[in-house]
Copies of this chain bind each other. A is one copy, B any other.
Amino acid sequence: MRHLTLALDIMGGDFGPHIILPAALSALTENPDLYVVLCGANTVLEPWLAQQDKHIQNRIILSDCQQTVTMDESPITALRSKKDSSMRRMLDLVEQGQADACVSAGNTGALLAMAYHVLKTLPGIDRPALISQMPTVDGGKVYLLDLGANVDCDSEVLFQYAVMGSVLAELVGNIDRPKVALLNVGSEQNKGNDRVKTTNRILSETASLNYIGYVEGNDIFSQKADVIVTDGFAGNIALKSCEGLTKLVINEVKKASNQNWLNKILAKIALPLLRNIYLRMNPDQYNGASLIGLRGIVVKSHGNASSEAFLYAIREAVKEVNMQVPTKIKDKIEAVLMERH
């Protein structure tokens, strides 16, 4: 494995350096080929760095940033007035080729806007997408995109999402000829809006994708497909509805546990299980969500993620670097467009 450098937004997320620095340390310890550029306030980073072992220190570069993008900042404000922020710096480093990928737990809207502005989309890709894995019934996984990067997607964008999702599932998810499906309100051909029907027609004609047709919302978890494509509006709502439902289930189990001693035992066993499902339902909390379709690798960890979750996001970034995901997406979209014309 070649050396690789990740730029990390140390100030992002609800807990900033407190959870991100331990995650960086774990990543550096488990991967001797890894270098990191820590983007953040040197006043915080220098004292921490001084305490680390020499062989770890040698693989850390500090990049002092005077600004921080706050969690409630509007994307426009962040884009215009936070040019010296830790989030912007890590993206600049990727753009300048000084880092192979970047990871942030910061404000999602600001990250999307800045990444799109700084890194630009790949040739043949109109819009980036936010993609992550969801759990499926048999312990498997499914890639769902877009989770909210673009609330208005036409059929061309949905088609590009199908290509990008397929590439990520194959390279990073290690799935051979991933089954790609389009999320719809029914599985029959006549179902759906015009945008979905047009996308279905284009995908059906694309032999180099393993397109299996429509799936419905309940199929997300059914293992029917390896990649499920939808617009950022429906994708975000599906993801967050499921998050809300998991909370509801946890709440009901807690209430039931107060009814009698047998239920108390039940809750002791059921709650960790349900919390685990809840974590898997918050995929960016679990293993990061990737922003794909850009000329660089950007991984988003959840704002209130733990060190362990941030470490997952770092590992995801490392995998995408090793698999050269942006190059492979570019190649695949070129090939597919050739096939169409």
Q: Which residues of A contact B (CB under 8 A)?
A: 74-76, 109, 135-137, 148, 151-152, 183, 185-186, 188, 190-194, 196, 216-222, 230, 232-234, 236-249, 251-253, 256, 262-263, 265-266, 269-270, 273-274, 277, 281
Contacts of A216 in B (CB 8 A): 236-237, 240
The answer to whether A151 touches B192, judged by C-beta atoms less than 8 angstroms apart, is: yes
Contacts of A247 in B (CB 8 A): 137, 218, 221-222
State how many angstroms separate the Cβ of A44 from the closest Cβ of chain B: 29
CA A249 to CA B245, docked complex, whole Å? 11
The answer to whether B273 touches A253, judged by C-beta atoms less than 8 angstroms apart, is: yes
Contacts of A220 in B (CB 8 A): 241, 244-245
CA A217 to CA B49, docked complex, whole Å? 41
Given contacts A185-B236, A249-B277, A241 and B217 within 8 Å (CB-CB) = yes
A190 and chain B: residue at smallest CB distance:
B74
Contacts of A217 in B (CB 8 A): 236-244
Taking the full assembly, how many copies of this chain does it contain?
2
State how many angstroms separate the Cβ of A322 from the closest Cβ of chain B: 31
Known contacts A218-B244, A270-B270; 5 further A-B pairs (Cβ under 8 A) = A136-B248, A152-B193, A221-B244, A253-B273, A266-B270
A136 and chain B: residue at smallest CB distance:
B248
Secondary structure at the A interface, as helix, strand, loop or mixed, is helix
State how many angstroms separate the Cβ of A221 from the closest Cβ of chain B: 4
State how many angstroms separate the Cβ of A192 from the closest Cβ of chain B: 6
CA A263 to CA B268, docked complex, whole Å? 10
Contacts of A135 in B (CB 8 A): 248
The answer to whether B74 touches A188, judged by C-beta atoms less than 8 angstroms apart, is: yes
Please indicate which of the listed interface residues A136, A238, A243 has the most CB atoms of chain B within 10 Å of its own CB. A238
In the complex, the 8 A-B pairs of residues with the closest C-beta atoms, listed nearest first: A217-B240, A218-B244, A217-B241, A238-B241, A185-B236, A217-B237, A221-B248, A151-B193
The answer to whether A221 touches B193, judged by C-beta atoms less than 8 angstroms apart, is: no
The answer to whether B262 touches A277, judged by C-beta atoms less than 8 angstroms apart, is: no
Contacts of A281 in B (CB 8 A): 245
The answer to whether A218 touches B243, judged by C-beta atoms less than 8 angstroms apart, is: yes
CA A135 to CA B194, docked complex, whole Å? 32
State how many angstroms separate the Cβ of A199 from the closest Cβ of chain B: 13
Contacts of A230 in B (CB 8 A): 237
Contacts of A136 in B (CB 8 A): 248
The answer to whether B218 touches A240, judged by C-beta atoms less than 8 angstroms apart, is: yes
Return the contact of A186 from the options B109, B193, B241 (Cβ within 8 A): B109
